[in-house]
């Protein structure tokens, strides 16, 4: 089974621009979560999607948004980029078991975004 794939792997943007990152989950996984990783803040949860609906959202400004398509693929968008948005953006997929306490998340390799 193919793992979680993320595109692009690397991206350079300038302040004020917007960016869209893509994530393809493992086949059969219906839940997709996004995380931001920076040296200062570590790994922080952005949002989670299940069946095209946002189920949970972390503490990020409205410039960060996402969506999920009917095939479970997901995109996240960051508008009006700031220097502080430079980070590794990770996508994770899971089966979304009824007992979420045992649900395993499978991470992609991430997209490294640099904002100049």
Q: Rule CB under 8 A: which residues touch other proteins? A: 4, 31, 33, 35, 42-45, 48, 50, 55-56, 58, 90, 92, 94, 96, 99-110
Least CB distance from residue 16 to other proteins, whole Å?
28
Give the whole-angstrom CA distance, residue 71 versus residue 93: 13
Give the whole-angstrom CA distance, residue 64 versus residue 71: 22
Q: Is 84 helix (H, G, I), strand (E, B) or coil?
A: helix
Nearer to other proteins, 80 or 96 (CB): 96
Nearer to other proteins, 15 or 103 (CB): 103
Give the whole-angstrom CA distance, residue 93 versus residue 29: 6
Least CB distance from residue 83 to other proteins, whole Å?
22
Least CB distance from residue 104 to other proteins, whole Å?
5
Give the whole-angstrom CA distance, residue 111 versus residue 84: 15
């Amino acid at each position: 089974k193919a793992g979680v794939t993320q595109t692009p792997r690397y991206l350079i943007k300038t302040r004020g621009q917007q960016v869209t990152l893509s994530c393809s989950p493992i086949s059969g996984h219906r839940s997709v979560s996004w995380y931001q990783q920076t040296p200062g803040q570590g790994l922080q949860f952005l949002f989670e999607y299940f069946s095209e609906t946002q189920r949970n959202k972390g503490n990020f400004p409205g410039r960060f948004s996402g969506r999920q398509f009917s095939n479970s693929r997901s995109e996240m968008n960051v508008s009006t980029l700031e220097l502080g948005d430079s980070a590794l953006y990770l996508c994770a997929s899971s089966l979304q078991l009824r007992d979420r306490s045992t649900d395993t998340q499978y991470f992609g390799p991430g997209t490294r975004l640099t904002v100049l």
